[in-house]
Amino acid sequence: LDGIVAGSFDVVVLSLVLSCVPEPQQRIEMIARARRCLRDDRGLLCIVEVGTILANPKWYGNDHSEEWKDAIQAVGFRCKRFEDTVKEHRPYRQKKTLQWVFETAPVPDGPQTLTPLMT
């Protein structure tokens, strides 16, 4: 984005965006761009995705949400909160919805190898 000054935002929200980005490498590049837009001191990144975006850990064998958290932290974030369910009280029901809140952390020096966000 041409008109955005690096480090000028307090909060970036990516709601149901990453699941529309077709390539895993493009997803993590989007996160890295969001990091550049955020302030270095306590900027927040909020990510919301549908639960079906990630492979089922019962047959995948790993926890994709943990892999996403690790990859996102590697580009300069610290995970503050993760929820995988939205609970509605009237009528009572639960929906699998992945929600992360990250706080900015120091960005590693030198060139980075970005870990793709796999689905």
- In the chain (119 residues long), the average pLDDT of successive 10-residue segments reads 81 92 89 92 92 64 81 94 86 85 85 69
Q: Give the predicted TM-score (pTM) of the model.
A: 0.83
Question: Given this model, what pLDDT does residue 57 score?
Answer: 57
Question: Given this model, what pLDDT does residue 109 score?
Answer: 72
Query: To which H or E segment does residue 71 belong?
Result: helix 64-73
Question: Given this model, what pLDDT does residue 20 score?
Answer: 87
Q: Determine the number of helices (DSSP H) and then strands (DSSP E) in the chain.
A: 3, 4
CA dist., res. 93 & res. 70, Å (int): 30
